[in-house]
Structure 1
Amino acid sequence: MALPQRQAMRLLSPRMQCLSKQSAIRQARFISSRYSNSTSRSVATAPAATSSIIDQLTPGAGTRNPLDVRAARVEYEEQKQYHLQRMRTAGMGLLLTFGALAMILFNLDLDSIEQAENKRRGGQQLDASDEANARFQGKEVHVIGAGDGKRIVAGSGGQEIELVETGTSSVPHFPRTIYLPTSSVSAAPTPIPGIVGVAEPNSRENPGNIANQEEYTLVGLGIRTVMWIQVYVVGMYVRTTDITTLQAKLVKHINPTASALIPSEKEDLKKKLLDADESRAIWGELLKVPGIKTAFRISPTRSTNFSHLRDGFVSGINNRTGEARALTPGVVTEYDSEEFGRSVQDLKAIFKGSNAPKGSVLVLSRDENGTLDVLYQPKPEETKGKEMERLGSLADERVSRLLWFGYLAGAKVSSQGAREGVVNGCMEFVARPVGSVETMVH
């Protein structure tokens, strides 16, 4: 019985709308004739009232017949979707608010806030600069001179360490030179004796290490960020005795007959070092084995752990292997072998679950044969006398090459700031005659 009634209502609905429409028209005509003595009023008011009433009663004009079941169902669904959309928007806004709050709290530098609060309570700002009041690995930092010619050193009395500003207050300085062991895994599988860091050979901090330490000079540095959060400062070093070789290869790549590059040639080299394909070719040539010794020094700007660092390194390797496969589609690359896969797994095993506090030092060194050494030292100023330990070594030069490419070559690098810093350092090298930079360092 319900079905015939519903069909009857559907048939009746258009008829009722039609009757309502005619009634509205008759009412509008009655209003118009009532004021027939005033022509201007009938012309001005009757059509407008007629049009308004007819439009309101016209199907689809915004008013639905309450007896039309289908129209009522459509209206219910529209209201439901409207309220669901508002709930989704409100929920998304709430999630974004909590996410932004979490990011702000995670990125908050409590040390800087504490220093600012201490200064405020002290009442007066100290005359000395922040650099002069800072300490580097337990040594007081001094600023000598001003402007482009200023020097920043830590310590005094023949134990000075020349520093370079990093651009972040979390890790404000990097040493211009460091000293690393000469031996690789094949020659010295035992732990490294003495402190490996910025101490000069045969110094009080690192006595008797002339035979097993080599000097490395900073090429450039930068900050690795994830979104807008600073993760660590990374700087590239080259063995000081290899600077001449690095200079010569960079210069000869642009001008085979020159000993130094002129400004236009320097600009050409800079563009190539920042280009995705050209940079891969140039650094591939510079990292050929046997070749030069290089290293990356990494210092976290906030407390982290080896797992996070490892994931970043492996991600960089995967990106570079993907680029290599894209350049040679359908061709088996040197990174498709099982041996290379085992080497990547060995790299992961080196970084076992351990914390890397803010200001600690991780060194990735690559010798002339491409062997990777991973060295680590906790915060030097808090662990005086603690040796820098070797976490592990890896002989497969493809792993270290791709790690280096992750910072220096390809379309997307781990730290664009570090890449630009290294490129700018190379520009300073090639602007001077080959062999002169090594002499200036000494």
Structure 2
Amino acid sequence: MLRNSTARQLPSTLRSCGRQTQRRTFLSSRRARPSGRAVERLNVQELVRKSHDYERNRRIFLWSGTVAGLVSFVWTAYKLVGELRKPAQLDSSLPSTDPLSSSDAADRKVVIRDENGHEIVPTGNSTVPAFPRILELPNTASGPDATAAIEPTGSTEYTLVGLGLRTVTFIGIQVYVVGYYIATADIAALQNRLVKKVNPIATTLVPGERDELRTALLDPVIGEETWNELLAEGIPARSVFRVVPVRDTDFHHLRDGFVRAIQARAPGASAPGADDEGFGEAMRQFRALFNRGTVPKRKEMLLIRDGEGRLSIEYEDGTGKKKSKVGTRQLIGTVDDERVSRALWLNYLAGKKVASEPARQSIVEGIMEFVERPVGTVAAQVV
């Protein structure tokens, strides 16, 4: 009976052990062998974070490349423009006394030839693109008839020294291009005087001396004193300011600007008593010359100072009898008082405030071309 009882109990025990074994086997198998379905292992938050990091890094990389490309483009363009504007490399083997060894050779004005073979100097302005390097002006005798056409008694050659654009108001409205010409035969006297001013025993100036002269001419006080002294002594004896408007204007507008300039310079440019009756009469004569109408753009006006300081004004109005290379010039009048032309010249050449700073700078550089050559020779132009 015991055996039978044990036999009856044994299957239930075995069955219980089997169930436990199966349960342990079942549980252990789930832990050891995960399900093949991938969705059960996804971490959505982690995936979102990784996606966000990827997109952020991608944007950073793309923007970095864009910025680097723009910087490279701008820097390359800047360097290229700098190289294109850079003058030709000077030969360092040249002696210091050679004009071409100076760094200011880069400031020389460029002279080219037009389709007719005439030498011209670019102005940088699209309306008035160039000025002639040489002016051939007829010599005229002064007379009471201010409206008579120019009757030549020979001619005088004038060489361009410098030019520039006059602007007005704080926004820089362009008015006209002005160029300063000196009679070629009178350049030697100006050369000699300026060279001796820096070095009394020299016949030409070396780079360091030219820098000294340039600084003096650009100084508001010293420059005005220098030019006032030269003009009072008739050096240079004959010179011209060529004025060509870049926009339509009128004689009254030009007159007002000239009169203000003369009145501002007259006390320092004239002898004591500059405001006397004689000077006042000269100013009335000067104003009367501008009682005219409009001045279209590109029309030429010449302010001419002769050896006695007499001021003559010629205008290309198309009604004169003398045909020049640039048009028909008409003598519209003269003013004999030397103080008027001297004050007007100082308005362009020197002082704290000039009519055109680019013109003053260009004129000074033109003077440097003169004094770097031996006295009696005309400065060579770079073609």
TM-score range, shorter chain: 0.5 to 0.7
C-alpha distance in 2 between matches for 1:186 and 1:362:
20
CA 1:313–1:151 in structure 2 vs 1: closer, same or farther (change >3 Å)? closer
Q: Does residue 161 in structure 1 map to residue 103 in structure 2?
A: no
Deviation track 1:247-273 (CA, whole Å, cap 9, x = no partner) reads: 111111111110111111111111111
In the alignment, the residues of structure 2 paired with residue 263 and residue 280 of structure 1 have an alpha-carbon distance, to the nearest angstrom, of: 23
Given residue 334 of structure 1, which amino acid in structure 2 is its aligned partner? G
Distance 1:440 1:223, change over 3 A: closer
**TM score, norm. by length of structure 2:** 0.65
Alpha-carbon distance between aligned partners in 1 of 2:147 and 2:294, rounded to the nearest angstrom = 23
Are residue 240 (structure 1) and residue 181 (structure 2) matched? no
Partner residue, 1:83: none
CA distance in 1, matches of 2:357, 2:109: 26
Whether the 8 Å contact between 1:289 and 1:370 is mirrored in structure 2 is: no
Cα deviation digits, residues 54-95 of structure 1 (max 9, x gap)? xxxxxxxxxxxxxxxxxxxxxxxxxxxxxxxxxxxxxxxxxx
Structure 2 residue 263 is matched with structure 1 residue 314: no
Q: 1:181 to 1:188 in 2, by over 3 A?
A: farther
Provide the rounded CA distance (Å) in 2 between the counterparts of 1:176 and 1:440: 10
Tell me if 1:305 matches 2:250.
yes
Question: In percent, how many aligned pairs have the same letter?
Answer: 43
Question: Do structure 1's residue 404 and structure 2's residue 345 form an aligned pair?
Answer: yes
**Which residue pairs with 1:170 in the alignment?**
127
Deviation, 1:183, is: 2.8
Match 2:240 to one of 263, 288, 295:
295
Q: What SS does the aligned partner of 1:428 have?
A: helix
Amino acid paired to 1:314: V
CA distance in 1, matches of 2:269, 2:185: 32
Does the C-alpha gap of structure 1 residues 259 and 324 become closer, same or farther in structure 2, counting only changes over 3 Å? Answer: closer
2:160 corresponds to 1:218: yes
Which residue number in structure 1 is paired with residue 174 of structure 2? 230
Say which SS state the counterpart of residue 163 (structure 1) adopts: strand
Contact 1:184 1:371 in 2 (8 A): no
CA deviations 1:319-359 (Å, max 9, x no partner) are 1135569xxxxxx9331211101111110100113111110
Partner of 1:341: 280
| Change over 3 Å in CA distance of 1:352–1:276 after alignment to 2 | same
Shift of 1:152: 2.2
Counterparts in 2 of 1:4-403, with a 5 A limit? Answer: 151-156=111-116, 160-185=117-142, 191-193=148-150, 211-227=153-169, 228-291=172-235, 292-321=237-266, 333-378=272-317, 387-403=328-344
Cα drift, residue 307 of structure 1: 0.5
* Structure whose alpha-carbon radius of gyration is higher: 2
Task: Name which of structure 1's ranges 399-408 and 160-169 shifts more when overlaid on structure 2.
Answer: 160-169
Amino acid at match of 1:267: D
Q: Distance in 2 between matches of 1:350 and 1:189?
A: 8
Whole-Å Cα distance in 2 between the matches of residues 426 and 267 of structure 1? 12
Retained in 1: the 8 A contact 2:224–2:351?
Answer: yes
- Number of residue pairs aligned between Structure 1 and Structure 2: 269
Unaligned runs of 5+ in 1: 1-147, 195-208, 326-331
Change (3 A) 1:239 1:324: closer
**Aligned-residue offset at 1:296:** 0.2
Check the 8 A contact 1:306/1:352 in 2, yes or no: yes
Going from structure 1 to structure 2, the CA distance change for 1:269 and 1:188 (only over 3 Å counts) comes to farther
Amino acid at match of 1:319: A
Relative to structure 2, which stretch is displaced further, 359-368 or 270-279? 270-279
Give the aligned CA root-mean-square deviation in angstroms.
2.9
Whole-Å separation in 2 of the counterparts to 1:356 and 1:320: 26
| Distance of aligned partners of 1:150 and 1:251 in 2 relative to their CA distance in 1, 3 Å threshold | closer
Greater RCO structure (CA 8 Å; 6+ sep): 2
1:175 partner letter: P
Task: Provide the rounded CA distance (Å) in 1 between the counterparts of 2:154 and 2:351.
Answer: 34
Q: Deviation per CA, 1:362-412: give whole Å up to 9, x if none.
A: 0000000000000000489xx988631001001100000000011112211
User: Secondary structure at 2:378's aligned position in 1?
Assistant: helix
One-letter amino acid of the structure 2 residue matched with residue 333 of structure 1: P
1:357·1:378 contact (CA, 8 Å) conserved in 2?
no
Instruction: Give a deviation string over 1:81-130, Cα, whole Å, max 9, x none.
Output: xxxxxxxxxxxxxxxxxxxxxxxxxxxxxxxxxxxxxxxxxxxxxxxxxx
- In 2, distance between residues paired with 1:248 and 1:261? 11
Structure 2 CA distance for partners of 1:256 and 1:188, relative to 1, 3 Å = farther
Contact 2:266 2:340 in 1 (8 A): no
**Aligned to 1:269, what secondary structure does the other structure show?**
helix
CA distance in structure 2 between the partners assigned to 1:238 and 1:187 by the alignment: 26
Q: Shift of residue 192 of structure 1?
A: 4.0
Give yes or no for contact 1:181–1:192 (8 Å, CA) kept in 2: no
Q: Secondary structure at the match of 1:287?
A: helix
Q: What is the TM-score of this pair, normalised by structure 1?
A: 0.56
